[in-house]
Structure formats: structure tokens, C-alpha cells
Structure 1
Amino acid sequence: MIQISSYGPWAVVTGASSGIGRAFAEHLAAAGLDLVLAARSTDRLEALGAELSRAHGTAYRVVSVDLGTPGSAAALIKAAADVDVGLLISNAGTGQPGKLLDQPLADLHRRFTLNAVTHLELVHAFGRRFAARGRGGIVLVSALGAGAGVPYMAHDGGAKAYVQSLGAALHHELAATGVDVTVLAPGNVDTPVIDHLGLDRAAFPVRLMPAAAAAREGLAALARRRALHVPGRTIRLANRLVPASWWRRMNGRMMGQAVRRLAERELRSCGGCATG
């Protein structure tokens, strides 16, 4: 098993302000890597970078960017052009439960940019850099069950399925260049996304695992040159044994409940939205 630090002195982490992205940043700083931290929240990134610098003596660079907008990936790539990046953690993503036909097309395009196009653009740019130097590592964060289809989140699940397929192919394609690629497919990880999506924590099939554990497993899978890793032993075994149709039904039930929960939350927030 290779050491994560052997990829190079700097790592780029997207979606670094919270959840799995923040956990990746914490693990990498503890391993001695300097960090390019990317997300929309400047204050949270600055606070995280300063905290990790104090704890581990590492350098950091904050890139405030909305990766759901066209051209934003190019801005991040440019911001990291002058440092020796050897590792890319392409983690940023989002989702919005609901029926596809009820959602504005502009919103769907924006989320597709974040959930798929940005991963492609970052992999293309940093993958070329890594291949030219003869070594590098890439972790793409997808989602468990995306390949089976996710009712009431069909669009975002489809984008995540693209990321999983992209990473699986590049794992083979880039191996000869010295670039390792792993897809992390979390399904039962405790992050703020669960509340954002309106999901019921009690409805998950197995106990939620900490984001730190998921990130740690993702880095270990990359070091072992695995193409795909599902964090959590129980959910990983279930993913191997349970047919896709079961995941589709379960995810459809959970997402359907999330849609109703979000609608109730919105109704409460606007006081019933009564009109006179």
C-alpha cells in the first residue's frame, strides 16, 4: 500500500467546508499535505485552513468558488497552477429531492454542472498534470445506489452515476501513467446533506457512520488502488448482495418521504403562505 503523501506535497479538496470534504482535508493535513480548499464559504474555509495549519504546520490556500456555475472549475484550476498538486479530492455536489418534471430546467442544468461537469473538468486538468509528472491520485465522490436510479432524485442520481462510471473507466485508463483513481460511493454517512435533503435519519437501513471514517476509508482505498469503495462494512456487504431493484425501491421510498418533509418545512416557514 502506498503512502498518501507520496503523491505530492499539495492536495486540492472541493466541497471542503463541511461533511466528507472537510473530513478529507483534516486527514490530509494530519498526513502532512498542504491544501487548496475550495467551496463557496470563504469564512468557513479560512477558519478550517487556519485550524489545520495550527494543528499540523501545513500551508493552505482558500479558493472561494461556486462550482455550479460555468467556468468555475477553470478558476480553481488556475488558482492551483503554481503549486505542486499531486492529489485531487473532487467531492463537491448537491441534490434536490422532487419530481423531475416539476423542477425548472435552469436548476437542473446548474446542478448537473456541479455534480458532473465540474468533476470532468477537474479530472481532465489535474489528470493531465499528474500523468505528465508520472504520479498522482484522484478521488471522485459519487453516491451509493446512483447507478440503480434514484426516484425523486433522478437527475442528481444520474449525474452521480456518470461520476461513478467515469472514475471506474479512468481507474483502468490512467493506471499506466502512474495516476491512481478511486470512486468513493457513500450511502450512510452522517453529513449536513442529510438534513438539507430532508431525509429521516431513522429511516436509513444501517447506522450512520461519521464523515471522518468515510474519508479515512476513501484514502485507504486509493492507497490500495481500488476502483470503487463503499464506506462502511455492513452497507458495503449489502451493496454486493442486494439487487439494484431493492435499492431503487428503498431510495424511492426515502426520497418520496423527503419530498413531503421538505414541502411541510417550506409551508411552516412561510406561515402557511396564506393569501388574502
Structure 2
Amino acid sequence: MIQIRSYGPWAVITGASSGIGRAFAEHLAAAGLDLVLAARSTDRLASLGAELHREHGIAYRVVSVDLGTPGSAAALIEATADVDVGLLISNAGTGRPGRLIDQPLADLHRRFTLNAVTHLELVHAFGGRFAARGRGGIVLVSALGAGAGVPYMAHDGGAKAYVQSLGAALHHELAGTGVDVTVLVPGNVDTPVIDHLGLDRTDFPVRLMSAAAATREGLAALARRRPLHVPGRTMRLVDRLVPASWTRRMNGRMMDRAARRLTQRELAVAD
């Protein structure tokens, strides 16, 4: 088992302003890594960076970027060209419950850029950089159940399935270069994404775990050089034992309800 600081001295975290991304930032700062914090919200990133600097004495850099925009990953890569990055946490993502055919194609393309293309571009750039330096770590964040297909979340689930397959394969491709790759596959983590998607916390079949606990497990899995990790013992059992057809039906019911809630919320705002 390796120590997370051995990847250092800098880590890049996308989607760092809240949820799992913020929890990664807090863990890595406590371990002494300097941080590049990337997301759309400049104010929240600056506040987080200043807080982590006060608490842990780390250096930080804020990169305000919309990773759903073509070319944005290149801007983040360029913004880190002058620092010795050894760890990439590619976490940024989003979703919109509902039938795929009811959603504007332009919005689907934007979300695919964020949920899949950006991960590809960042892994390609930083993976190459890490291989050249002979060491490095990559954590990609996917979603539990994506590989089985998620009705009423077909598009975003498909993109997350790509991320999971990509990371699992790269774990083996890059093993001989000194670069470790782990895919974190969260399923019941309590983050603001739940509210954004219109989900109700009572919809989840098992108790939600904190983002801090999930990211702690993810970093431990990276240190143990595991290709995939589902945080939470109960969710690992569910993933291992429950048939994909059942998972697909359960997730479909949850996302159908979430889509209806979002529609009602938007109608209420419009009124």
C-alpha cells in the first residue's frame, strides 16, 4: 500500500466546489497536497481554498471553468502546465432525469461533454504527464448501476458507464508506467446532486453515507491499487448480488419519480 502524498505535490480536482469533489479536496489538503480546484463557481472555490490553506497550510489554485463546454478541459490542462501535478480527481458531472427523447439535443451534447469527453481529455493529458514522470494517480468518479442502464437517466448513465469502463481498462494499461487508476462508483452518497436531480432521500433503499466517508474509501482503494471501488459495505453487497435487471427497474422507478418532481418544481417557479 502506498501513501497518497507520494503522488504529490499537487492534485487537480474537478467539481471541487461541493459534494464528493469538496470532500476529496478536504482529505487531500489534510494529507498535505497542494490543490488545483476546478469548477464553475469561482467564489466557492476561492472560499474553499482559503479555508484549506488556513487549516493545513497548503497552496492552492482556483481554475474557474465550465467543463461542459468544448475546449474547457484544454484550458484546465494549460492552467496547470507550470505545476508538478501528480494526482487527478476527475469528478465533475451532472444529470437530468427524464425521457431522453423529450430533452433538447444541445443539452444532451453539453452533458456528454461534461460526463464523458472531459474525463477522456483529462485522463489523456494527465495520464501521459504522469507516465512520463514515472508515477501518478487518477481517480475517475462514475455511478453505481450505470453499467446496467438507468431508465429516465439513459444518457447520463451511459456516459458514466463509459467512465467506468475507461478507468477499469486504464488501470491495467498504465500499471507498468507507475500510474495508478481507480474508478470510484458511488451509489448512495449524500451530496447536493440528490436535490439537483429531484430525488428524495427516502427513495434510497439503504442509508445514505457521507461524501467524506465515500472519498476516504476511494483514496484508500487508490492506495491499494484497486481498479474499481463501490463505497459502503452494503452497496458493495447489493452491486455483487442483485441482478442487473432488478437494479435497472429500481433505478428507473426512482428516476421517473425524480423527473416528475423536477417538472413540478419548474412549473411552480414558472407560475
TM-score range, shorter chain: over 0.9
2:51 paired with 1:47? no
Q: What amino acid is the match of 1:17?
A: S
User: For residues 156 and 40 of structure 1, what CA distance do their matches in structure 2 show?
Assistant: 19
Q: Secondary structure at 1:180's aligned position in 2? A: strand
* Equivalence map 1:124-273=2 (5 Å): 124-271=124-271
Structure-1-length-normalised TM-score? 0.98
Per the alignment, residue 112 of structure 1 pairs with 112
Q: Deviations over 1:81-129 (max 9, x none)?
A: 1000000000000000010000111000000000000000000000000
2:31 paired with 1:31? yes
Q: What amino acid is the match of 2:241?
A: L
Structure 1: which 5+ residue stretches go unaligned?
A: 272-276
Q: Deviations over 1:227-261 (max 9, x none)?
A: 00001110111100111111100000000000111
* Equivalence map 1:5-24=2 (5 Å): 5-24=5-24
Per the alignment, residue 103 of structure 1 pairs with 103
What displacement does 1:203 show? 1.1
Q: Deviations over 1:34-75 (max 9, x none)?
A: 000000000000000000000000000000000000000000
Of all paired residues, the percent bearing the same amino acid is 88
Structure 2: which 5+ residue stretches go unaligned?
A: none
What displacement does 1:268 show? 1.4
What displacement does 1:267 show? 1.6
Aligned Cα RMSD in Å?
0.5
What displacement does 1:76 show? 0.2
Q: What amino acid is the match of 2:173?
A: E
Q: What amino acid is the match of 2:142?
A: S
User: Which aligned runs of 4 or more in structure 1 are off by greater than 2 angstroms?
Assistant: none
User: For residues 62 and 186 of structure 1, what CA distance do their matches in structure 2 show?
Assistant: 26
Q: What amino acid is the match of 1:72?
A: S
User: For residues 4 and 136 of structure 2, what CA distance do their matches in structure 1 show?
Assistant: 9
Per the alignment, residue 274 of structure 1 pairs with none
User: For residues 39 and 259 of structure 1, what CA distance do their matches in structure 2 show?
Assistant: 25
User: For residues 155 and 115 of structure 1, what CA distance do their matches in structure 2 show?
Assistant: 10
User: For residues 7 and 267 of structure 1, what CA distance do their matches in structure 2 show?
Assistant: 48
User: For residues 125 and 266 of structure 2, what CA distance do their matches in structure 1 show?
Assistant: 40
What displacement does 1:18 show? 0.1
What displacement does 1:266 show? 1.2
What displacement does 1:20 show? 0.1
